[in-house]
Structure 1
Amino acid sequence: MKLPNTAHTSRPWRIHEIAHDFLLEDVWALPTPGGPDDFPRLVRQMTSGSNTNDSRAYTALFEIRWRLGKLFGWDRPDAGIVARVPSLRDRLPADLLAGPRGPVFSSVPFTSVYQTDDEWVAEMANRTVHALMHMSWVADEGGGYHGQMAVLVKPNGWFGRGYMAAIKPIRYLVVYPALLRMIGRTWELQAAG
């Protein structure tokens, strides 16, 4: 479920002190009901590539995006973290830098930046944007907990701003609904197994 930006900005997340120059693009409640100690399970699920995907539209969109990226050079190594933009890790205070970074992704172009007991950040960059995925574990009104995902971006000039505007309807109509279903379905399957 889409949440207002204040669901992210009103909380004392460490990301606020580090990524002040990124734009908060989206905030979502994840269908991952659990207890206070289930956050590491969510992080493992997000990095393992185990999310159950049955959306043809979602798969087709990403296949098209990766092909366009290859054709136009959007995702070349010289457009990524370190080559085009410094890693967010360069901004970390000593305590976060000394703490866990978070797991390695199995199949997507993100890199873990830092992980705490209730917050985890991963980043990626290409010719269009430097993007952050902020995952957190929040208490809900019923006494349980669930995941929350915020997407923060720093578009790369006019092209990046145009790209983000062009894909916004696709993100809301196809990408996020399919992603939330996949996360929820996998969460349920892993809880049952």
Structure 2
Amino acid sequence: MKLANTAHTSHSWRIHEIAGDFDLEDVWALDTPGGPGEFDKLVKQFSSGDFPDEAPLPVRALWALRWKLGGLLGLDKRSSGLDTRVGSLRGKLPEDLRETPTGPDEDWLPFTPLYRLEDEFAAEMANRTMHGVMHIAWVDDGQGGYRGQMAVLVKPNGLFGRAYMGFIKPFRYTIIYPALMRMIAREWRNRG
């Protein structure tokens, strides 16, 4: 379920110190009920998920189209990514976050993990359109349990990046995110 931005901004997450100049694009409640010690399971699930391969056909088709267009337009060239077009946020990490684990051993492509705490995880990516951060948190659900929460922060790359983000917004809200949320909930329910 999409949440108001305050669901993210009202917490004193460490990401605020690092990506304060990024736009908060989306905040989502994840249907991942659990206890206080289950956040690592959620991070591991994100890194080992099969999105978009296990997603419905429209999502897979949009994803394939995006990567095809990205290749044709050079959106995802190495020269437009982290530490080439933009510096990694790792250089902005406070000293105490530099030594934290960055994530599980699984491959996070296209994201690069930044840090992981007991209730917060952040990973970044960059391409020709934007520099983005996926922030996953473990929040009190107000009923004695916890659940995951995902926020997406972006810094568009100029007018082209803003136009691109505006163009894909309807697809994200009507096709991509609903399928992703269902997949996250299904994988959480089916976890061993």
- Could you say whether these structures have the same fold, taking a TM-score greater than 0.5 normalized by the shorter chain as the test? yes
Counterpart CA distance in 2 for 1:62 and 1:28 is 20
1:110 aligns to what? 111
Counterpart CA distance in 1 for 2:181 and 2:144 is 22
Question: Is the 1:89–1:113 contact (alpha carbons within 8 Å) kept by the matching residues of 2?
Answer: yes
Counterpart CA distance in 2 for 1:189 and 1:151 is 25
1:10 aligns to what? 10
Per-residue CA distance 1:128-154 (angstroms, 9 max, x = gap): 000000000001121110000000000
1:48 aligns to what? 48
Query: Counterparts in 2 of 1:76-155, with a 5 A limit?
Result: 76-106=77-107, 108-155=109-156
Counterpart CA distance in 2 for 1:81 and 1:163 is 19
Question: Is the 1:49–1:107 contact (alpha carbons within 8 Å) kept by the matching residues of 2?
Answer: no
1:59 aligns to what? 60
> How many pairs align?
191
The alpha-carbon distance between structure 1 residues 105 and 76, as it changes in their structure 2 partners (threshold 3 A), is: farther
TM-score, with structure 1 as normaliser = 0.96
| Superposition RMSD in Å | 1.2
2:27 aligns to what? 27
Per the TM alignment, residue 50 of structure 1 is displaced from its structure 2 partner at its CA by 4.2
Of all paired residues, the percent bearing the same amino acid is 58
Counterpart CA distance in 2 for 1:95 and 1:153 is 24
TM-score, with structure 2 as normaliser = 0.96
Query: Counterparts in 2 of 1:182-193, with a 5 A limit?
Result: 182-190=183-191, 193=192
Counterpart CA distance in 1 for 2:104 and 2:124 is 12
Counterpart CA distance in 2 for 1:68 and 1:105 is 27
Unaligned runs of 5+ in 1: none
Counterpart CA distance in 1 for 2:154 and 2:143 is 32
2:177 aligns to what? 176
Question: Is the 1:49–1:106 contact (alpha carbons within 8 Å) kept by the matching residues of 2?
Answer: no
1:68 and 2:59 correspond: no
Question: Is the 2:55–2:180 contact (alpha carbons within 8 Å) kept by the matching residues of 1?
Answer: no
Per-residue CA distance 1:88-146 (angstroms, 9 max, x = gap): 10000000001112235536300100010000000000000000000000011211100
Question: Is the 2:28–2:150 contact (alpha carbons within 8 Å) kept by the matching residues of 1?
Answer: yes
Counterpart CA distance in 1 for 2:173 and 2:73 is 24
Question: Is the 1:103–1:112 contact (alpha carbons within 8 Å) kept by the matching residues of 2?
Answer: no
